[in-house]
């Protein structure tokens, strides 16, 4: 556990923030009138979580030539999806003021999917190019 705290501190902080945001009872605001604002929030939360896991993974594995990419995909894609699914189930069965929705879970998936695409196809090549230029 200490390894993950040391290597992925910001990702763990985002996990704690998502747990808090998923279970606190929000006050009524003008934003409640914005259609599908909760879907935008889900997308951003899971885009941020998956994206930060990718960034901290790249930082932890500076030797990009031998990246354990399967572990990266599991950690940055599968973990946030399982986490999001568990949050939705917990909201449905453990609270009276929240509901678990399939559309929220799908929006979580979209956030993770786009973060993974950005990290793998944009950030990773940029970091590889930058590393090669510094050598």
| pLDDT score of 12 | 96
Q: In whole angstroms, how far apart are CA 94 and each of 22, 98, 107, 108? A: 12, 9, 21, 20
Pair 115, 58: CB distance under 8 Å:
no
Q: 26 lies in a domain? A: no
104 in Cβ contact with 45 (< 8 Å): no
Lowest mean pLDDT among 4-8, 20-24, 40-44: 4-8
Note whether residue 27 is domain-resident. Answer: no
Does residue 98 form part of some domain? yes
Residues 19 and 85: beta-carbon distance below 8 Å: no
Distance CA 71, CA 101 (A): 29
20-41 confidence digits (pLDDT tens): 999 998 888 887 788 888 899 9
- Assess if residue 14 is contained within a domain: yes
52 belongs to a structural domain: yes
pTM summary value:
0.89
Whether 23 contacts 91, CB under 8 Å? yes
Which residue range is the domain that position 122 belongs to? 2-21+37-134
Rounded to whole angstroms, the Cα distance separating 76 from 60 reads 13
pLDDT digit string, tens, across residues 111-125 = 999 999 999 899 988
Query: Number of folded domains in the chain?
Result: 1
Give the Å distances, CA to CA, from 114 to 30, 37, 74, 109, 118: 29, 18, 15, 9, 6
Q: Is residue 103 part of a domain?
A: yes
What mean pLDDT do residues 48-56 have? 95
Domain assignment present for residue 67? The answer is yes
How far apart CA 37 and CA 68 sit, in angstroms, is 36
Q: Average pLDDT, stretch 98-110?
A: 94
Share of the chain above pLDDT 90, in %: 58
pLDDT in tens, 73-98: 888 999 999 999 999 999 999 998 88
pLDDT at 26 (0 to 100): 80
Domain-located, residue 31 = no
Distance between CA 123 and CA 68 in Å, rounded?
16
């Amino acid at each position: 556990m200490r390894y993950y705290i040391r290597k992925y501190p910001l990702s763990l902080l985002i996990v704690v923030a998502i747990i808090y945001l998923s279970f606190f009872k929000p006050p009524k605001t003008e934003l409640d009138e914005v259609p599908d604002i909760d879907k935008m929030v889900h997308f951003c939360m899971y885009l941020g979580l998956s994206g930060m896991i990718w960034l901290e993974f790249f930082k932890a594995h500076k030797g990009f030539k031998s990246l354990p990419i399967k572990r990266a995909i599991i950690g940055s894609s599968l973990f946030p999806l399982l986490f999001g699914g568990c949050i939705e189930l917990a909201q449905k069965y453990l609270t009276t003021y929240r509901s678990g929705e399939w559309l929220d879970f799908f929006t979580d998936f979209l956030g993770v999917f786009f973060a993974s695409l950005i990290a793998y196809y944009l950030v990773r090549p940029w970091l590889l190019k930058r590393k090669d230029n510094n050598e």
